[in-house]
A and B are shown apart, each in its own frame.
Chain A
Amino acid sequence: MRDQYLKIMLFSIIILALCGSCSHRSHSMLLQKTDIRPILNPNEGALKYQTTIDLFKNHFSGILVAKQIDSTHAHLLFISEIGMKIFDFEMTKDSIHLVSAFPGLESRPKAIELLKSDLGLIFLNGIYNKPASWIRDSTSSFATIWIDFRQRDGKRTNIYITNSETKRIQRIVQKKGIRKKIQVGYDQKEGLGPQSIVLRHKGLIHLTMMMRKLD
């Protein structure tokens, strides 16, 4: 009886998967800023977020200031509530590098690398003019149509889910193989920048970033 039930379940899952794939058509493209709206823009002011970072057993809180300085350079600066600079990353078109860090953090290259890649992911660093594929979900019952952009980044796949009307990023899922490695959620409303951003690692790396926009 139990085996029969399992067989029916498995059959149903296969049918559902096949039906699902019928309603999604994947298209190749070169990702542009008109597909996913950048979070940082040269003519806009800095975005400031009250931020907490939990990295393994360490808990940090402070203010993350993100600003596009010109068309090619942006800075991501993290300072403590009481004003001490903790780290400063410079983002260029396709890369992100450390400008300075508090001495205690500078001596932790793995932590720096992790922060660098996660902040790059959050602020959509290096995604434009890269090959991607998109899937339009026409079966959605919502008025908003979601589009998934997939990009190959080494062994990882980043899936960007945007609102098709506003072109604002809603969610990012980074996968390695079939496993979800990182998930980023954005609370997008009117005005500049997301109202809140939450990044969570899955698996062995215990890193969570929670950001709340300051007015």
Chain B
Amino acid sequence: MPARFDFSRPPFDCLTEIERSEFDEVMDLEYFAAGETVIGPDQEVDALYVTMKGGVVEAGSDDPAAYRSGAPFDTRALVAGRGTSHLVAQEDSILFRIPRDTVLALTRRNPMFGAYFYQDVAKRLAFLAHRPFQRELQSLWMARVRQAPVGEPRWLDDRASVLDAACAMRQHHVTSVLVRGAEGVGIFTQSDLRNAVIDGVDTRSEAVALRARYELHTVEEDDFLYQAMLTMTHHGIQRVVVTREGEVVGVLEQIDLLAFLSNHSHLVAAQIERAATLDELRQAARDMERMVTLLHGQGVKVTLIAELVSELHHKLLARLFAMVAPPNALAHVCLLLLGSEGRGEQIMKTDQDNALLIEDGYRHPDLPAAAARFNELLVEFGYPPCPGGVMLSNPRWRQEIGPFKRQLEQWMDHPDGENAMNLAIWQDATPIAGRTDLYEQVRMHFTRWFAQDGGLLARFALPVEQHFDTPRPLLAQLWGAEQRDALDLKKSGIFVIVHGARSLALEAGVIGANTYRRLDALARGGHLDKQQARDLAEALAFLQALHLGHALRQVQEGKPVDYRIAPNELTTLENDLLKDTLAVVKRFRAHLRHHFQLDTL
């Protein structure tokens, strides 16, 4: 069929050339006038349809699926061999018709194509949602040299001795130094040092300028990374000198380049640990952001990025607190991260949620100022302040554990509005520095109190109903092309899954704040159907991945990060997966409503 079948749209984009021509061979066209039934309920289905022109809709549904140009349907009916819903031509429509046998044979041979037809939502999402989308595919090799961790050049003057060079290397944790000699700029490396020792020179008197090499291999900082790698491989060297318009601005080590290309998280970790000043820590925070962009661009699964980032994030905040806290304070306090930071699910710096628990009776005059400084510095590092004031500079979130327990009790007495929010935020607390036992004491108190009151749990869970934002305009537009209302990913999906898991975890006494771990623990403990837990985990991962992409775009455009995604930001595949995801969320809400008897509140 030479005519107009668009193989660039998913799932057909994962077919090989040969598979495409197979498709072409068997494809027919079918014409339906407006109002005619394309697939009837329970009708035998022997073909996959793809709309060429016109549109087909589900009849008799409040929330009808619509299949417009390029949209394949009905994948469920195709696998089952029988129609599940009533599909009607919305207008005069021309459809491509691909026989069922051909499609099924291809799903078996081409796993990526096959994944599209999975009936298991979790499997489908897991397989499809994390393939790097074409538009974001950015090879690291095509990144610029300046994006890699280029080290500062360490200069020695030409009178310095070989020993001075060795000392400088140790002091700055570098493997090479630069000298300006009579012959221009030279480099002196660890292997040159080794050779000097073997040659028996007097390291104290021998001028480093004599032992340096003056044939520098350089790359411009705007060159591609692969050029740097090529230069190193070609000359069998471990580093290249980086220049900006010919002037030396740094040294790129092969080992750092390789680390950058594989997984640069450990670099940032090392950077945080080595940081001796606030400036160095700030640089690490900036590098973290870059790491997220790169990992996302490489198509790394969002849950993995979140784990890496929260790990680094915890290190960073712990290090920062240690820098600003009064000496010895860490032996008497516990620094907590709350909310999404506590759950380890915050990838972009949306806001800070933190608190400080203080040992009863411990008072240090500098503690309030240190707390305020901590929050200010975080703002400087790019973490916006929490609009709800959930920060340790706020005395309510910086208390001795006795009074803090009383406050939790008050919130539990009136678990509405802000109090309910505070309880939810608290429930996601994770200790990251200082006395973990202080946190344990408060947590035990909190859960024991909660367990005594069944009604409290229901009221805790209630916001899954109240905050829900029905994504109808988007759903109606799925597969459509026009820009309509944006969908709030948080309200429509993320919040329901996170808060539902939080509520169930609280009820079941599941320890740990991460939603994925909670879902897993709930399923293992028999508190949640295993399949449902898997569906929810994949649905959440998908929503968070969508949000990450959206947030990175906003950051790039210099806009504040929000959760409102417009339909035209999504690829057709994402649109389709989003629909699956929202159906999972809907089922979970129904489950929670029934489980906590939310209707009776």
> Are A and B genuine complex partners?
no
